[in-house]
Amino acid sequence: MISAAPYRDRVVHHALYNIIVPIFERTFISDSYANRVGFGSHRALRRFTQFSRSSHYVFQADIRKYFPSIDHKILKHLIYRKIKCPDTLWLINTIIDNSNFQEPVINYFPGDNLLAPLERRCGLPIGNLTSQFFANVYLNNFDHFVKEQLQAFKYIRYVDDFALFSDDKAFLETARVIIEEYLTSLRLKIHPIKSQLFETKHGANFVGFRILPNQIRVRSDNLRLGRKRLRQMLRDYDEGKIDAQHLTQSTQSWVAHLKHGDTWQLRQRIFSSSIFDLAMLI
């Protein structure tokens, strides 16, 4: 469930974010790429491609219903270890405690009674800047555990999507079991279907692309969505709802994204019959 705070609250979120991010930023690993200045999805794609093309196997996973599953008590404990100012903690607690209602996630973990999943307050609204930052804080210790304790040197995470690469399949099989056990301490579970161990030669999906040994393609569902948005923008332009500058800027942004894959012929096909200047866009 995507939701965002009112504008006046978002101003406060940004002010808080500007103060507390430097405190935590220095503790984040270099291969965590989401919601960080100077990182982002395209840099993550390059790193993922580097790891994939230098390894035989990958264990790729994402966390089932991550944002709705973030446990408030655990999150606050992780924050309290770094933040000591009472006023700042009051504001952080106010933001967390007043999170919008999220989809309930009923998961049981060792030591739980029948009502435990209902008694613990969980969930952060995915549309808030503070939620995105807290999501990184929540998995920060996990990142260090994977890199330093498991010694998975080829490890990358983008929000709740993470991957470990190795030439040793048995290592990754063991790592999966240990990771699932560790995540119970955060009251999290990996997705049972989307989380798989396979040979990198078969290709892997990551941040909207499919990474193959000799090619990077745009995922078909992302491509369909992009085409749909382009058609809608062209209709809006014809009807006078948007001007040429807005149309061009939005299209250039999408083209810049596509250029991170091997998409020259694709871009030729998409824009060959449109009103755009191909030389400028492609």
57-111 pLDDT per residue, tens: 999 999 999 999 999 999 999 999 999 999 999 999 999 998 877 778 888 999 8
User: Which letter does DSSP use for residue 263 in this model?
Assistant: -
Q: Total domain count for the chain?
A: 2
What's the count of helices (H) and strands (E) in the chain, helices before strands? 13, 7
> Are 239 and 176 in the same domain?
no
Q: Please check whether residues 128 and 255 belong to one and the same domain.
A: no
pLDDT at 160 over 80: yes
- Identify whether residues 196 and 222 lie together within a single domain: no
Which pLDDT score is estimated for 15? 96
Using 50, 70 and 90 to split pLDDT, how confident is the model at 276? low
pLDDT of residue 280: 47
Residue 247 CB neighbour total at 10 angstroms: 17
Rounded mean pLDDT of 154-169?
A: 97
E strands along the chain, which residues?
A: 57-62, 155-158, 161-166, 196-199, 204-206, 209-212, 215-218
Do 144 and 250 belong together in one domain?
no
pLDDT value at 133 more than 90:
yes
Position 282 pLDDT exceeds 70: no
Assign 25 a pLDDT band (cuts: 50, 70, 90): very high
Per-residue pLDDT at 274 exceeds 80 = no
Same domain assignment for residues 243 and 154? no
Domain boundary among 191, 212, 233: 212
96 and 42 in one domain?
yes
Tell me how far apart the alpha carbons of residues 152 and 168 are, in angstroms, rounded to a whole number: 11
Q: Does position 205 have pLDDT exceeding 50, yes or no?
A: yes
The residue out of 194, 212, 230 marking a domain boundary is: 212
- Give the span between the Cα atoms of 44 and 158, in whole angstroms: 7
| Average pLDDT of the chain, as a whole number | 90
One domain for residues 105 and 234:
no
Separation in Å, CA 246 to CA 179, 226, 237, 250: 46, 16, 9, 6
Higher local confidence (pLDDT), 183 or 238: 183
For residue 240, the model assigns a pLDDT of: 87
**Do 98 and 139 belong to one domain?**
yes
pLDDT at 273: 56
User: Residue 279: pLDDT band by 50, 70, 90 thresholds?
Assistant: very low
Is residue 204 within 8 A of residue 252, CB to CB? The reply is: no
The residue segments making up the domain with residue 157 are 5-212
Say whether pLDDT at 174 is over 50. yes
Mean local confidence (pLDDT), 186-202: 95
Please count the other Cβ atoms lying within 10 Å of the Cβ belonging to residue 25. Answer: 12
Indicate if 166 and 233 belong to the same structural domain. Answer: no
158 and 193 in one domain? Answer: yes
| pLDDT at 275 exceeding the cut of 60 | no
Residues 93 and 224 in one domain: no
- Reduced to 3 states, what is the DSSP secondary structure of residue 103? coil
User: What DSSP designation does 149 have?
Assistant: I
Average confidence (pLDDT) over 134-154:
97
pLDDT of residue 278 exceeding 60, the answer is no
207 in the same domain as 248: no
Whether the per-residue pLDDT at 255 is higher than 80: the answer is: yes
Above 50 in pLDDT, residue 168? Answer: yes
Residue that is last in its domain, among 212, 246, 264:
212
